[in-house]
Amino acid sequence: MAVSEIMSESPKVPKPTIERLAIYSRPLEDLLEAGSPVVSSERLAILCGVNPAQVRKDLAYFGEFGIRGLGYEVKELLKAIRAILATDRRWSLCILGMGNLGRALVENENFKRRGYIFVAAFDADNRKVGERLACGLTIEPVAGIKDIVSKLHVDIGVITTSQKGAQRAADLLIDAGVRSVLNFTPAQVRISSSCFLENEDIGLKLENLAYHLTRIRGARATK
């Protein structure tokens, strides 16, 4: 059965399951590169920091992949996960906000290896406009975003502006026809219901780590 058929027949898949599929793909890539033909749910679970039952439950949303008593064929499982996540194709990205974070992202070769290609970079600061980046992109003015996004068929917009400029950046992307946005700022931007938004607030991640670290240290101090 084709992956598209599996997905159309599957019940609504929880968001955490989709996120874990992406996690499963990382060690599968390593196993494939190492020449390992099969992997058990127990081994994959250990490599991903989850339990085997969770691995089996997540994959069951999309059909039968394993061979009882043997495990999963690494190559076929990775191929299926990539098809499910649509990471078996090329995605065009643009980015708004060419500060330190924006520059680090467009220079990250890991995105390119996974099919996420930055095709345009924008900034509202005229002092940055026209600068040629090491990756080959030239920073464009935000005034030209609509024409460039249309011309380059941009799929995903990335926001790395200041918190204050995040909503305007989101509005510019949506107005230009972008329907998926990844927001790296702490701002809670508003988008239309026809668009998809992912927030990646690094500050929140650090606060979560600080919370748990404080309690670990507190527990040790009371022993």
pLDDT at 7: 46
pLDDT in tens, 48-75: 999 999 999 999 999 888 777 789 999 9
pLDDT at 5: 44
Q: What is the mean pLDDT of the chain?
A: 91
Q: Which residues contact 98 (CB under 8 A, 6 or more apart)?
A: 121, 122, 123, 125, 128, 131, 133, 139, 160
Burial annotation 52-72 (CB, 10 A radius, 16+ → b, else e) = eeebbebbebbbebbeeeebb
Q: Which parts of the chain fold into alpha helices (H)?
A: 3-9, 15-34, 41-48, 52-60, 74-85, 100-106, 109-113, 145-152, 166-175, 202-221
Identify any residues that bridge with 93 across adjacent strands, giving them in sequence order. Answer: 118, 156
**What letter would DSSP give residue 68?**
T
pLDDT in tens, 6-36: 444 455 899 999 999 999 999 999 999 999 9
pLDDT at 204: 87
What domains are there in the chain, each with its CATH number? 3-85 (1.10.10.10), 91-204 (3.40.50.720)
pLDDT in tens, 167-218: 999 999 999 999 999 999 999 999 988 899 999 988 888 998 999 899 888 7
Taking residues 112-130, report their average pLDDT: 95
pTM of the model: 0.83
